Amino acid sequence: MARKTTEEMMQELEYSIKPYRKDFKTFTRLPKDGRKKEEIIKEMEALNAKEEPKWKDGFVSGAVYHGDEDHIDFLNQVYVLNSQSNPLHTDVWPSTTKFEAEVVAMTANMLNADKVTEDPDCDDEVGGVVSSGGTESILLAMKTYRDWARDMKGISKPEMIVPRTAHAAFDKASQYFNINMKRIPVDEGCKADLSKTKDAITDNTIVIVGSAPSFPHGTIDPIEELSELARENDIGFHTDACLGGFILPWAAKLGYDIPPFDFRLPGVTSISVDTHKYGYAAKGSSVILYRSLELRRYQFYTTTDWPGGLYLSPTFAGSRPGALSATAWAAMLAIGEEGYKEIARKILETGAKIKKGIAEIPELYILGDPLWDIAFSSETVDIYKIMDYMGEKKWSLNGLQMPPAVHICLTHRHSQAGLAEKFIEDLKSAVESVKANPDKETEGVGRLYGMSANIPVKGVMDAFMKRYLDLLYKI
């Protein structure tokens, strides 16, 4: 089969991104007179009906972390009550300020912030803010360390030390804030290499990063050792617990062997943790915590010389959706410790079943040491073709690279009876099918990964991906 040209690939992608052009009207300018509200709602209901089954039945990796009908109804009710609120206007909506302060306090408590207050050598306390998501929490933390190091240490050419497997948001922070990022390789177990981290430290290092766990392989970096290294060198240490923050504390209580990753470790100076993942809030909130209020102040923005008045904001945004913080607060109160523990138990049990099932397929192996965010690969079959075959069976999995692999991030959606068994059954037939037809070209996203892996020229794939982003806004 002839290789497809870039234009042909773009065309195909465009069809897949824009499936509604045929059956739904496209708007490129304001309607002269407003449309009927019922008509708009009906149209959205039709779109919703097409998309809901994709995630509701538990075939998607990550994405929707709770998704039970009564929980969604509850969050929607909370949104309705708070839809006008904007925490920028603290005088009008002190309720949102209350919600956000309590979301931060409850999250900090879950991650052992008490240990900081109890420490006789420390006269400060843990503080945090609510942000719009994991990426913003990470960007905020990296900017904070940059400004802290400039002020306290006079560092003007800041460097951050980040494991290869840490989230792309750290690279984004390095680009946005001009912080040189040193990438540290991971060992065979997918964990950050300690001695390479040590070697990478210079006088310009502002922060070392570790994940608990990492997004690609669900494996926890050696946080205790890494944070100690940072502490010895008077450098910041950030634990990225975006994924694990609302699971690991409960996993530990359920008897799983979880190494400490939070404020129990004296070297951990900040933690990102996503309320919109396993905190089960509506999408659009996360918490960034700092070991001291003094450090947090480097994040804050204030200006005294704007004609618009004295202006101050804790995060990147100005106006913010208070309703989303309200859903985080309400979710945390409604679920409570026992609720979080129970959902974590189910997710971890599903993880154990899936790990066992993959281990029994001789062609596949699991990367690292995951609990519920499970990556697998193969020495003998094309793993991206496996991913595409799974796609034909409705499974929406994530492609990984370096090395090529596929992962499924388990959520409460996967706790539904029989799903783990179905996943393994489909995976077995995927392996058989790809083994039987190893040269068959597939049509799914896996093909893009295969293509990317075969493009030796740096920048070609980046250009292609920017074209993809252009497509999102194409009419």
Q: Is 406 in the site for ligand PLP (CB under 6 A)?
A: no
Question: Rounded to an integer, what distance in angstroms lies between the CA atom of residue 63 and that of residue 25?
Answer: 28
- The residue among 146 and 277 lying less far from ligand PLP, judged by its C-beta, is 277
Q: Of 78, 161, 243, 331, which lies in the binding site for ligand PLP, with binding defined by CB under 6 A?
A: 243
- The residue among 211 and 315 lying less far from ligand PLP, judged by its C-beta, is 211
Which region, judged by CB under 6 A, interacts with ligand PLP, from 154-162, 210-218, 255-263, 362-370?
210-218
Shortest distance in whole angstroms from residue 136 CB to ligand PLP? 7
Which region, judged by CB under 6 A, interacts with ligand PLP, from 134-142, 315-323, 422-430, 455-463?
134-142
Please state whether beta strands 236-240 and 301-303 pair in parallel, antiparallel, or not at all (unpaired): unpaired
Shortest distance in whole angstroms from residue 196 CB to ligand PLP? 20
- The residue among 167 and 447 lying less far from ligand PLP, judged by its C-beta, is 167
Q: Of 215, 280, 340, 389, which lies in the binding site for ligand PLP, with binding defined by CB under 6 A?
A: 215
Q: Hunting for tokens 């800041």 — which residue is that?
A: 158
Question: Footprint of ligand PLP on residues 336-355 (CB under 6 A)?
Answer: none
137: Cβ contacts below 8 Å, ≥ 6 apart: 131, 242, 272, 273, 274, 286, 287, 288
Strand partners, 375: 407
Q: Is 211 in the site for ligand PLP (CB under 6 A)?
A: yes
Please state whether beta strands 159-163 and 180-184 pair in parallel, antiparallel, or not at all (unpaired): parallel
Own/partner pairs, 356-360, CB within 8 angstroms, 24+ separation = 357/420, 357/421, 357/423, 357/424, 357/427, 358/424, 358/427, 360/424
Q: Which residue, among 193, 279, 200, has the nearest Cα to 243 in the 3D structure?
A: 279
Question: Footprint of ligand PLP on residues 372-401 (CB under 6 A)?
Answer: none
The count of residues interacting with ligand PLP (CB under 6 A) is: 14
Per-residue DSSP letter, 304: S
Residue length of the chain: 475
Q: Which residue is nearest to ligand PLP (CB)?
A: 134
Rounded to a whole number of angstroms, the CA Rg of the chain reads 23
- The residue among 320 and 385 lying less far from ligand PLP, judged by its C-beta, is 320
Which region, judged by CB under 6 A, interacts with ligand PLP, from 115-123, 190-198, 211-219, 359-367?
211-219
Shortest distance in whole angstroms from residue 34 CB to ligand PLP? 34
Residue 101: exposure state from Cβ atoms within 10 A (0-12, 13-18, ≥19): middle
Shortest distance in whole angstroms from residue 373 CB to ligand PLP? 8
Question: Rounded to an integer, what distance in angstroms lies between the CA atom of residue 233 and that of residue 178?
Answer: 22
- The residue among 87 and 244 lying less far from ligand PLP, judged by its C-beta, is 244
Shortest distance in whole angstroms from residue 134 CB to ligand PLP? 2
Shortest distance in whole angstroms from residue 201 CB to ligand PLP? 23
Q: Of 240, 363, 388, 426, which lies in the binding site for ligand PLP, with binding defined by CB under 6 A?
A: 240
Q: Of 129, 192, 209, 242, which lies in the binding site for ligand PLP, with binding defined by CB under 6 A?
A: 242
Q: Which residue, among 410, 398, 128, 411, has the nearest Cα to 273 in the 3D structure?
A: 128
Question: Footprint of ligand PLP on residues 257-286 (CB under 6 A)?
Answer: 274, 286
Q: Of 82, 112, 135, 205, which lies in the binding site for ligand PLP, with binding defined by CB under 6 A?
A: 135
Terminal Cα distance for the chain, rounded: 31
Q: Which residue, among 59, 54, 51, 52, has the nearest Cα to 414 in the 3D structure?
A: 59
Shortest distance in whole angstroms from residue 90 CB to ligand PLP? 25
Could you give phi then psi for residue 276, rounded to 5 degrees?
-85, 5
Q: Which residue, among 153, 132, 346, 337, has the nearest Cα to 250 in the 3D structure?
A: 337
Q: Of 134, 279, 322, 450, which lies in the binding site for ligand PLP, with binding defined by CB under 6 A?
A: 134
Question: Footprint of ligand PLP on residues 138-197 (CB under 6 A)?
Answer: 138, 167, 169
Q: Which residues bind ligand PLP (CB under 6 A)?
A: 133-135, 138, 167, 169, 211, 214-215, 240, 242-243, 274, 286
